[in-house]
Structure 1
């Protein structure tokens, strides 16, 4: 009984909220302001003139003036707010055509809404790319590890083959761990600054360490890997090595025959004779944008290139530098590519540092 009485005496919040929202609209406020601006002067003039009219006639006259002022307020408020109502309908439909006949304030709102919709579209694209990365880069090594495990546990393999299968399983596990680490780094670096501790760092020793780490990948692709240059800079060696490793792995993925790591007066450079990026560095060096793309007429599947470039860019910025990209296809001759210096290789990524001492 008490619950029924409570519901009878207290209407549902949703209905009350809609009633309040209906009264508290911009058009209602505009109409009220126009009504008052039109009605109050008429009211003052009527009582100031003190016409010799009966009270009933005077009341009827004021009621007529009030109705006319209310209608004028309603019509004018609708006309004033028509561009805003049109913008609301366009935002709800997701289609914001370019218009020049709107007031300046509506044009500013239109630009703001366009920017918001563009950012939402970019976020949706990145989310899709993230799912593509998960499906492709996680699924492939997991399937391979599953096949290797099945072979190791069910097939009567000789000892040498069992060791080879175990080595392959370890390689697939390391690949999975590296991908998960990249995703975790990209997620963290996107939301917070990269924490570094600068100390004098031998850049040549750092590149030698990266070369040893990625050497097995170059052997699988029959690539030539070389390291050039010497220098010292204030840097966080562990964090900087992660950035260069990402750049080196990307170069190995796309190179035709050669990859070179070098210390330059500007910082650290990773060069290769591959086809270059399929878009601008600003567009591709973003987290989770590694969608399948066409580069120099060749189709490349989704991978972690976007993650690696984004992490390298954030690490470069944390050191006070930047990540630069240049591509000069005309510098690559058709023969004797192995004799080229890094400056002559067509694709060059440079991670700049504030000061490099030879």
Structure 2
């Protein structure tokens, strides 16, 4: 695909669009983007894209996206031109034919800075929308559970019901203003057994391995929310093409969690043998709307980190081709805000 024709409908869109060439120079932008940045085509076309950005790492990320032919999304990016006009926007990057990149900018309304707005508040509208489909899903699973005779099918229907209830509870938690986690004793190995069952029920499920420390005591937390974190991590690994996932538990002594160091923390590792995290999104992986997949929402990891921090813990990762490790850290002593 070459730069759009000026008579194309893209020139009439309210979304800011630009096309970059293989050298990351602007070859086309639509009027909406020109208006956002207060720049005309004569000024922008032919210029290095770095002149439009206030984020020094972005040109490198764009170059990697071009070289790897990968789409990605970034949240809360600052754009501007030499005259000083700045715009904060969500950015979607899509490779085009002919070694070009399409940039799509969605400006953020004033006061909606991602750093200042809790993710749960951003997701309340989404949570509201999913409650009705979840109720329908639960009802259908209940009918199936009553009508099937095979024990295996009854067990699968019961799993669907339990998952619908868990997701409905999570949605309720997002909808409640300031809804706090329901803290109670949690056996992490029981959580991982539930995770096993959910992974194995998926089509083309990866192989699962366990590397557990059986001496670990119970922790404390909201079991449903913590299971959601682990499920997000496992599903990401599956969707990335992992053939094997290892679930590992350990004690981490002297762990640094946010601004404090704790004597000991529970560490749960989700290890996969997939291709690894794309270079283009390594520095922004936990930001909302950042995804390595064109069809990804970019919400799972952002929400997972928020849940970890709400428990006084942290979510980290390391990645190379053939071994990606996402680690959930939870303080072994009770966390107080």
> TM-score by structure 2 length?
0.46
Name the structure with the higher strand share: 2
Name the structure with the higher helix share: 1
Q: Considering only CA atoms, is the larger Rg found in Structure 1 or Structure 2? A: 1
> TM-score by structure 1 length?
0.44
